[in-house]
Structure 1
Amino acid sequence: MDNQYNPKDVEAKWQHIWQEEQPFSASVDSTKEKYYLLEMFPYPSGRIHMGHVRNYAIGDVVARFKRMQGFNVLHPMGWDAFGMPAENAAIEHGIHPAKWTYENIASMRHQLKKIGLSYDWKREFATCDADYYRWEQLVFLKMFEKGLAYKKGSSVNWCEDCQTVLANEQVEDGCCWRCHNQVQSKELDQWFFKITNYADELLDWTDKLSGWPERVLAMQRNWIGKSYGCEIDFQVAGDDEKIKVFTTRPDTLAGVTFMSLAPEHPMVEKLVTAEQSQAVQDFMTTVERQDKADRTSGDLEKIGIFTGSYCLNPFNGEKIPVFLANFVLMGYGTGAVMAVPAHDQRDFEFAKKYDLPIRVVIQPKDVDLVADQLTEAYSDPGFLVNSDQFDGTDNESAKEQIAAFLDNLGVGRKTVNYRLRDWGVSRQRYWGTPIPIIYCDDCGAVPVPEEDLPVVLPTDVELTGEGGSPLARHQQFLQVSCPKCGKTARRESDTFDTFVESSWYFARYTCPDYTDGPLDKKAANYWLPVDQYIGGIEHAVMHLLYARFYTKILRDLGLMDVDEPFTNLLTQGMVCKETQRCPEHGWLYPEQVIDGKCELCQQLVEQGRTEKMSKSKKNVIDPNQLIDQYGADTARLFSLFAAPPEKDLEWNEQGVEGCYRFLNRVWRAVADNKELITDAKVGADISGEAADLRRKTHQTIKKVSEDIDGSFHFNTAIAAVMELVNAIYAFKSAKESPGVLREALEAVVCLLNPFVPHICEELWHAMGHEEGVELSGWPTWDEAALVTEEISLVVQVNGKVRGKISVATAAERQAIEAEALADENVQRFIGAKEVCKIIVVPGRLVNIVVK
């Protein structure tokens, strides 16, 4: 064994062995308890970043730990490979998206293997593989057959210049990310998944997912947004048309003084009068430039325009103006809001801006609110006023009473509303899964026959960036015979939202080579649900909600018997670093700063805030350089030791150096004692310093086991091992008790293996073991070894602390009394005084009572 730790050689050796022997391959084994560990799979951008290192290292610790505990562990890896970046690369660099994607996958696979992650690489796939998305297309056809997939008109972000639909993230300050022209709303036919059919089940299960962070569950509950209230009809003045609103506050109906509609509301065209036409058109143009998410923000300025029309308040027949308002969206409720400015802050601000009436209809107890003196809306409980026969009723009771009143009039009804809307899955892009539908003039929308799947994405497309879907211009792909009547028809040119692929990949990992359907039910039922899922909280109401919905779809299609995809969820923190900025050259990479100065102009660099590592701020550390300099084990150890997994990790160069020095100490501890501990055994009679080290060893095993298992306190687990290594270096009785030293060193190697597997495998074999450290099993602690041989007792004289003694744990009372009386400091306070009584409190203190 080399006395010098060389991480490059050690890591290359073990990565080669793992590649050849495939020790992390998993298979169904009903005799063993399974454990499915999964991190959210990456987009193949071509290069890993420190966020990848941290995320995957966290997962690898758990996978290796569970494997050592004897679980049958499934720990797969694959690629979320469809999406816009590949198309952008094709346009910018003239490289086909498929070539760009698969080259990036090869590069990232190589980088991930250099980290030493214990993946079952035989299960690897990319979502752009036809063998993967063919089954996604089949599931879609089953959903279409059951009415769970449908097409309808929908308002989308449209760029006229590019002739394409844009996702919300492609709209920047109201402009197209590519051409920078203004984006407008446009009605287009889009495909949807009926996620709303599962709203109640998705909501109910948030109370059963005890292994999920409450923050994520709260975000999903809010996104689903189930609320109880009334649907109320407001008659348009002088017309038979009715505006439907949903409200959770029917108790405030008498306080409605105007109506607010979403600019996208289908009734807008009918409601706008000739006099208001131009003003409304100008307003609509302004709102089209506003991001939909911003429009619901409390910080956005609330603007509106009078349509010229009125509607009637069904409670009192009052004629009220109908406005369009930027803060009302069609995606929420009915797209119409009854405005009660005295009791809703948004309505209050809007009414003040446009000088609209404010009427108080809820009064708090012992306070008299006056409308024109209000500085903000009153939204707390109270009693009804200005509400005719309901005056004096507390507002909670009034909700039920007014709902019944409206029902009797035939203008309202109690109902349940959801914020959740059906999932729009159409994308006018090339690099995605083709939607398997054929359009026939005679037969309408016809599903592609199952035997014709997959509908393969053609590779001979021209990506010009000029707008529109390339598939819509690809005649060989587009033109096809109708499966029903045989006449000339055309294929759907839209592709799926990439969230569809990521909504079931975890299930396909259980049977990636299965060819008789999307899932092998036996394998899926064995492995699923995922026992531990790891990923960012930014996916709380997109990927994580869609995955839950899709799991229920697969269940209801009879493909598996699983209700939820993930039993436990860990949302890891970000990797952060301080930013550095040159007054002349802007943000700088760390390597561009030398002695606090910009290497380009020698000006002093401004130290900025610590922020999430990002290329835009250039505060990034290249993990490949880190691994080349220190080794993968050091990179892993720092990312796991510097902060708990759920917290943000702040980059610290000294911390990296410290982790590297620690691994060198571990290496030397084994190398320096290798000959001494060979074949050494723990003896029967252990005492003194040897007993102390053995106790420390078993205390550490217990501490690390408890810190890893379920709680993921990796930083404190590593700190405990560091303390044990310190105790090993301080051990002076190695020659007399080599077995105790060997036990301690073996514990260090076993306990560190999930964190730093390369060095641990090397050291384990250096100590004479033939099988791998992971096959040796997780160490267990001996309760007897935890017992302290000596205890410290406080000694009091007449109730005041005068000394401290150490006695054997099993010492008898007489021996304890004698030791206390013999203490030099205690003797000073007793002197010639007569000892009346000695009180011994076992395990705590001795109190000597003197005259």
Structure 2
Amino acid sequence: MDYKQIESKWQKIWADTGLYKFDRSRVDKKYYCLEMFSYPSGAKLHAGHWYNYGPADTFARFKRMQGYEVFQPMGFDAFGLPAENYAIKTGIHPEESTLKNIATMERQLKRIGAMYDWDYEIKTCMPDYYKWTQWMFLQLYKKGLAYRKEAPVNWCPSCNTVLANEQAQGGVCERCGSQVTHKNLNQWFFKITAYADELLDCIDKLDWPEKTKLMQKNWIGRSYGGEVEFQVKDSDVKFKVFTTRADTIFGVTYVVLAPESPLVDLVVKDEQRAAVEEYKEKSAKATEIDRMSSTREKTGVPTGSYAINPVNGEEVPILVADYVIASYGTGAVMGVAAHDERDFVFAQKLGLPVKRVIKSKDGSNDALPFCEYGVLCNSGEFDGMTSEEGKLAILKKLEKEGKGGLKTNYRLRDWLVSRQRYWGAPIPIIHCDHCGDVPVPEKDLPVRLPLGVNFTPDGESPLKKCDEFINTVCPVCGRPAKRDADTLDTFVCSSWYYLRYADPKNEKAPFDSEWINKMLPVDKYIGGAEHACMHLLYSRFFTKALRDMGYLNFDEPFLSLVHQGTILGPDGNKMSKSKGNVVSPDDSIAKYGADIFRVYLMFGFNYVEGGPWNDNGLESISRFFDRVERIVKKCYEVNFDDAPLSKAEKELNRVRNNTIKCVTNDLGVFSFNTAVARLMEFVNAMYNYEVNVAKKNAIYKDCAKDLVLLLAPFAPHFCEELWEMLGQKYSVFNQSYPTFDPAAMVLDEVELAVQINSKMRAKVTVSSSASKDEIEKAALEAVKDQLSGAPKKIIVVPNRLVNIIA
């Protein structure tokens, strides 16, 4: 079969007949199947794209054949840093390179044979999309969920520019290799922390991978504890620390401030100032991830000041250490060296005191640090209490004295959404000297991204250099004003795209709420696990915020989530040009066709795990296709009769129904490799029947039809051709997916192994409905010449064997 020819043939027929157009009148039967959209940073789809989109399309086609009105859109996450960096390097404008890449990827996506309805395509870099991204920003701003404050950013002093976290990995600039520092700039944030509890409490209701749910739980990081206020000695300065172990507070021997905390400048003594400033400069070069690493060596310097422990009045030194992060908790922690592993190591290194205030409940463990719960000691009136009792009693007393109380803390921080970059959606805010921050009126959206901008890095947001853009008038007072020069994080664009897909041509709103509430939530979402704590979390936040504004009536965007694994190179390593192990889909498709490539991706790997590429797998699938084609050709070369089913035909029918059952179950859980293996077994059974039975029963043609229907979601072009060869009505995808007959899976007779003392001696065939006595009688008859007396015991394993203990 000429696979290239049939792919072109059927793609044209599908397009001409509008086979995959979403029927809005059947919205009550909708099934929203969504793959994470692509970022068009490269000119071609790679094997990883195919591994996401091909199997996902198989699942979508399966749901269509089960009677659902499948909505499967496609689009492009088209703003972002790679296109801007490419423009800086080559001089090609990001819009030009992005749209060119999109056009190429559209052609390639169509070649996959996926049933995307391109009428619903979106491109996030187009004004008709980012107009509504800006609208989303304004709604959050009106509700107090978007705000501006000073925050640290990564800064390269050599390039004189702000760097994204991705550009500052390891604390060095990816462009020039210089050490990255931090500087404070006014930044925009979304108040995702306002939804921390709901984001955490609702996640277990979702059909998501447990690992992904755990990652989000840990990222949100809710912890119950207390807040305790310390007074700086000989000063009016006070500060709070958060702790989950208030039972250890009598053991505090020092407190630590984050280097970037404003408290440092308030408490540092003159004689320590030089050392502290040097330490601050050094810590500014490290990323937060590096600073928080449990394996990193802990360092710190004293400020010369002391804090007063509120429970016992003891004076403890205040130090600065970079393992404390200003934006987490209060930016200050209490050091309890005797009962915390990190604090113990830090105290040992700096020669700080260690004071035991918790002992084991049975007195069996005196080793320090003792980090478990136990019984309080050296804790005044709280001695003898358990840790559980003590921390609650201590916090209640502190609350009564106005020095602390119960507190819930979160690891999650508000989402920083402003970027000092060019290729993104402009932030729709005007800064007026008289009126302050003024939102752009909705009637003036979109705030268009100007094209003629010099985005060569010079330390400022590129849009600041575009006078036509930056200079405007205040919509409130009419005086001269400035537009915000920053652009939105591209994750803002992708946090609501699943909503726009369903209503992409709406010019009056981002979507029609009545319609969107029928179309969503997404029933099945497919994409990479690397998005667990960003895109997936941000989308949940957007959905909940829009719900609370009255635009949506559902709580979660994605009801069910599947992560695909990673395709590795033939050498078992991650594909990269430098290793020379990149697999080009184009080369394989040119030789084998898209369907064989698709089916290999599903047969050769466990979908959620991936694995190393093997070219021999393509050849194996090619041979499988040849065998299937020969079965179909046999159906119009041979005459069939409708005689009653023989034993061989009943066995073939049993395999057929068992295959239908197993493939249906496998597809439902994305177990594509086992589903294809079942189909191969079915083909083997049909060949076995063909070899052993000269006269063909009509059951053979029925099996061939079911084989094509079962295989159709995997190999759409190939199976459309086979369906036509069988003389069936167009299209195979307008047919119902086969269902199995449980009765056909029950054999009239079963063959049992007969053992004597667990050793195989004979085989016996009995009725599938035979009683235990009848089975024992038949087994004894089969081996009577091998027995020398009455058996001691007979063990019957139904449908498998009989073991006679002699």
TM-score class normalised by the smaller sequence? over 0.9
* Structure 1 position 814, deviation (Å): 10
Alignment of 1:722-737 (within 5 A): 722-731=680-689, 732=691, 736-737=695-696
Structure 2 CA distance for partners of 1:506 and 1:829, relative to 1, 3 Å: same
Could you say which residue in structure 2 is the equivalent of 1:459? 451
* Equivalent position amino acid for 1:95 in 2: I
Judge which range, 490-499 or 619-628, deviates more.
619-628
Out of 829, 834, 842, the residue aligned to residue 786 of structure 2 is 829
Could you say which residue in structure 1 is the equivalent of 2:505? 513
Could you say which residue in structure 2 is the equivalent of 1:718? 676
* Equivalent position amino acid for 2:592 in 1: Y
Give me the whole-angstrom Cα distance separating, in 1, the residues matched to 2:283 and 2:791. 92
* Equivalent position amino acid for 1:14 in 2: W
| 2:124 is the alignment partner of 1:165 | no
State the Cα deviation string for residues 494-528 of structure 1 (Å, max 9, x = none): 00000000000011111111122111112211111
* Structure 1 position 627, deviation (Å): 1.1
Alignment of 1:108-507 (within 5 A): 108-209=105-206, 211-367=207-363, 374=368, 377-507=369-499
Q: CA contact under 8 A between 1:639 and 1:649: conserved in structure 2?
A: no
Structure 2 CA distance for partners of 1:497 and 1:730, relative to 1, 3 Å: same
Could you say which residue in structure 2 is the equivalent of 1:655? 617
* Structure 1 position 231, deviation (Å): 0.9
Give me the whole-angstrom Cα distance separating, in 1, the residues matched to 2:790 and 2:278. 102
State the percentage of identical aligned residues: 50
Alignment of 1:563-578 (within 5 A): 563-578=555-570
Give me the whole-angstrom Cα distance separating, in 1, the residues matched to 2:521 and 2:744. 39
Could you say which residue in structure 2 is the equivalent of 1:582? none
Give me the whole-angstrom Cα distance separating, in 2, the residues matched to 1:83 and 1:320. 48
Give me the whole-angstrom Cα distance separating, in 2, the residues matched to 1:841 and 1:163. 78
Could you say which residue in structure 1 is the equivalent of 2:648? 689
Q: Which runs of no fewer than 5 residues in structure 2 stay unpaired? A: none
Out of 703, 707, 712, the residue aligned to residue 744 of structure 1 is 703
Judge which range, 661-670 or 499-508, deviates more.
661-670
Structure 2 CA distance for partners of 1:735 and 1:341, relative to 1, 3 Å: same
* Equivalent position amino acid for 1:21 in 2: T
Q: Which runs of no fewer than 5 residues in structure 1 stay unpaired? A: 580-609
* Equivalent position amino acid for 1:68 in 2: M
* Equivalent position amino acid for 1:559 in 2: Y
State the Cα deviation string for residues 533-583 of structure 1 (Å, max 9, x = none): 11111111101000000011221222221110000011111111254xxxx
Give me the whole-angstrom Cα distance separating, in 1, the residues matched to 2:295 and 2:556. 37
* Structure 1 position 18, deviation (Å): 2.5
Judge which range, 306-315 or 169-178, deviates more.
169-178
Could you say which residue in structure 2 is the equivalent of 1:83? 80
Out of 71, 74, 81, the residue aligned to residue 74 of structure 1 is 71
Give me the whole-angstrom Cα distance separating, in 1, the residues matched to 2:795 and 2:681. 37
Alignment of 1:743-822 (within 5 A): 743-795=702-754, 802-809=761-768, 820=779
Secondary structure at the counterpart of residue 342 of structure 2: helix
* Structure 1 position 369, deviation (Å): 6.1
Out of 539, 543, 546, the residue aligned to residue 535 of structure 2 is 543
Structure 2 CA distance for partners of 1:796 and 1:62, relative to 1, 3 Å: closer
Out of 586, 592, 601, the residue aligned to residue 624 of structure 1 is 586
Judge which range, 814-823 or 630-639, deviates more.
814-823
State the Cα deviation string for residues 104-147 of structure 1 (Å, max 9, x = none): 00111111111111111111111001101111111211221121
Q: CA contact under 8 A between 1:794 and 1:846: conserved in structure 2?
A: yes
Q: CA contact under 8 A between 1:26 and 1:74: conserved in structure 2?
A: yes
Secondary structure at the counterpart of residue 60 of structure 2: helix
Give me the whole-angstrom Cα distance separating, in 2, the residues matched to 1:835 and 1:252. 72
Structure 2 CA distance for partners of 1:533 and 1:616, relative to 1, 3 Å: farther
| 2:522 is the alignment partner of 1:526 | no
* Equivalent position amino acid for 2:764 in 1: I
Q: CA contact under 8 A between 2:643 and 2:697: conserved in structure 1?
A: no
Secondary structure at the counterpart of residue 204 of structure 2: coil
TM-score (norm 1): 0.90
Secondary structure at the counterpart of residue 157 of structure 1: strand
Structure 2 CA distance for partners of 1:629 and 1:255, relative to 1, 3 Å: same
Could you say which residue in structure 1 is the equivalent of 2:661? 702
Could you say which residue in structure 2 is the equivalent of 1:615? 577
Q: CA contact under 8 A between 1:32 and 1:71: conserved in structure 2?
A: no
Secondary structure at the counterpart of residue 612 of structure 1: coil
Structure 2 CA distance for partners of 1:169 and 1:837, relative to 1, 3 Å: closer
Structure 2 CA distance for partners of 1:394 and 1:668, relative to 1, 3 Å: same
Secondary structure at the counterpart of residue 416 of structure 1: strand
Secondary structure at the counterpart of residue 645 of structure 1: coil
Could you say which residue in structure 2 is the equivalent of 1:584? none
Q: CA contact under 8 A between 2:27 and 2:69: conserved in structure 1?
A: no
* Structure 1 position 233, deviation (Å): 0.8
Q: CA contact under 8 A between 2:638 and 2:696: conserved in structure 1?
A: no
* Structure 1 position 730, deviation (Å): 1.8
Secondary structure at the counterpart of residue 560 of structure 2: strand
* Equivalent position amino acid for 2:109 in 1: L
Q: CA contact under 8 A between 2:635 and 2:726: conserved in structure 1?
A: no
State the Cα deviation string for residues 18-63 of structure 1 (Å, max 9, x = none): 2333312213335742111111111002221111111112211110
* Structure 1 position 395, deviation (Å): 1.0
Could you say which residue in structure 2 is the equivalent of 1:107? 104
* Structure 1 position 409, deviation (Å): 2.2
Structure 2 CA distance for partners of 1:830 and 1:408, relative to 1, 3 Å: closer
State the Cα deviation string for residues 456-477 of structure 1 (Å, max 9, x = none): 1111112324442221100000
* Structure 1 position 82, deviation (Å): 0.3
Secondary structure at the counterpart of residue 136 of structure 2: helix
* Equivalent position amino acid for 2:594 in 1: A
Structure 2 CA distance for partners of 1:35 and 1:231, relative to 1, 3 Å: same
Q: CA contact under 8 A between 1:840 and 1:846: conserved in structure 2?
A: yes
Could you say which residue in structure 2 is the equivalent of 1:593? none
* Equivalent position amino acid for 1:174 in 2: G
Structure 2 CA distance for partners of 1:48 and 1:394, relative to 1, 3 Å: same
Give me the whole-angstrom Cα distance separating, in 1, the residues matched to 2:801 and 2:81. 72
Could you say which residue in structure 2 is the equivalent of 1:39? 35
TM-score (norm 2): 0.95
Give me the whole-angstrom Cα distance separating, in 2, the residues matched to 1:223 and 1:648. 26
Secondary structure at the counterpart of residue 6 of structure 2: helix
Q: CA contact under 8 A between 2:570 and 2:614: conserved in structure 1?
A: no
Give me the whole-angstrom Cα distance separating, in 1, the residues matched to 2:228 and 2:141. 33
Give the CA RMSD over aligned residues.
2.5
Give me the whole-angstrom Cα distance separating, in 1, the residues matched to 2:27 and 2:449. 42
* Structure 1 position 614, deviation (Å): 3.0
* Equivalent position amino acid for 1:398 in 2: G
Give me the whole-angstrom Cα distance separating, in 1, the residues matched to 2:370 and 2:772. 72
Structure 2 CA distance for partners of 1:24 and 1:834, relative to 1, 3 Å: closer
Structure 2 CA distance for partners of 1:806 and 1:269, relative to 1, 3 Å: same
* Structure 1 position 770, deviation (Å): 2.4
**Matched positions, count:** 804
Q: CA contact under 8 A between 1:360 and 1:369: conserved in structure 2?
A: no
Secondary structure at the counterpart of residue 566 of structure 1: coil
State the Cα deviation string for residues 775-815 of structure 1 (Å, max 9, x = none): 11101112222121211245578999753211343569998
Secondary structure at the counterpart of residue 320 of structure 1: strand
* Structure 1 position 254, deviation (Å): 0.8
